[in-house]
């Protein structure tokens, strides 16, 4: 089959997110005048490693925020955010934190998620997350469409829970890092294999 998205799609549900899958989940924590905030974003990825930079994109807006969701609104205030890794064990907490709470309602408290403090930025992080990236905004870009916003940030601090290190490597299968697929589906990393690049030994 073939279709042009500008004319809709012929399937019961839009397959776009199932095609661009798996997507890592940036569990974004922020602190603003309204308080602390936490929400998952799967339009999330690393975009460079020297310096380390990440992006996430927010689509849509909340009625109590001016054309944004809480995360972007808070980041516009402070210029900082933290990306917490979602392990399989944290799946229900992550999902609970996606509830559209009113601005100023703290998802950490609402979902019973313990906080820790970031070190290079004034921002909370998820204490139980196997790894977290503290970030300073480099750019906020308005994307095509209504309320589509991309936030880019440079990583200024990296937290790793030592119990997820095996022989000095971050053990993604121990974390069973969660990623988002299409529809209501998720995947957990339980099996990995290695390939050497051409010319690598």
The DSSP bridge pattern shows strands 178-180 and 23-24 to be antiparallel
Question: 96-125: which residues touch ligand FMN (CB under 6 A)?
Answer: 98, 100
Residue 25, interface with ligand FMN (CB under 6 A)? yes
Element (H, E) at 143: none
Q: Can you say whether the dihedral through the CA atoms of 23, 87, 84, 92 is positive or negative?
A: positive
Q: State both tokens at 91.
A: 């799946």
Residue 132, interface with ligand FMN (CB under 6 A)? no
Element (H, E) at 166: strand 165-166
Interface region with ligand FMN, contact rule CB under 6 A, candidates 52-60, 75-83, 117-125, 162-170: 52-60
Q: Which of 59, 78, 138, 156 binds ligand FMN (CB under 6 A)?
A: 59
Q: Which residues does residue 159 pair with via DSSP β-bridges, in sequence order?
A: 132
Q: Which is nearer to ligand FMN, 66 or 162 (CB)?
A: 66
Please tell me the distance from the alpha carbon of residue 141 to that of residue 51, in angstroms, as a whole number.
Answer: 19
Q: Which of 24, 36, 55, 71 binds ligand FMN (CB under 6 A)?
A: 71
Residue 180, interface with ligand FMN (CB under 6 A)? yes
Residue 58, interface with ligand FMN (CB under 6 A)? yes
Please tell me the distance from the alpha carbon of residue 115 to that of residue 125, in angstroms, as a whole number.
Answer: 6
Q: Which of 18, 35, 46, 62 binds ligand FMN (CB under 6 A)?
A: 62
Task: List residues binding ligand FMN (CB under 6 A).
Answer: 25, 37, 39-43, 57-60, 62, 69-71, 95, 98, 100, 180
């Amino acid at each position: 089959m073939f279709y042009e998205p500008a004319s809709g799609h012929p399937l019961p549900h839009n397959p776009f997110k199932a095609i661009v899958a798996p997507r890592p989940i940036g569990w974004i924590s922020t602190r603003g005048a309204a308080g602390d905030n936490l929400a998952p974003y799967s339009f999330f990825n690393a975009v460079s490693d020297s310096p380390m930079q990440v992006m996430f994109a927010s689509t849509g807006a909340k009625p109590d925020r001016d054309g944004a969701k809480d995360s972007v609104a808070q980041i516009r205030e402070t210029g900082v955010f933290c990306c917490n890794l979602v392990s399989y064990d944290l799946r229900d907490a992550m999902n609970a934190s996606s509830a559209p709470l009113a601005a100023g309602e703290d998802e950490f408290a609402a979902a019973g998620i313990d906080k820790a403090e970031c070190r290079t930025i004034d921002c909370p992080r998820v204490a139980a997350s196997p790894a977290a990236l503290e970030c300073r905004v480099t750019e906020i870009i308005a994307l095509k469409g209504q309320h589509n916003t991309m936030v880019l940030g440079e990583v200024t601090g990296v937290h790793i829970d030592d119990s997820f290190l095996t022989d000095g490597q971050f053990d993604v299968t121990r974390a069973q890092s969660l990623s988002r697929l299409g529809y209501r589906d998720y995947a957990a990393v339980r099996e990995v294999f290695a390939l050497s690049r051409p010319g690598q030994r």
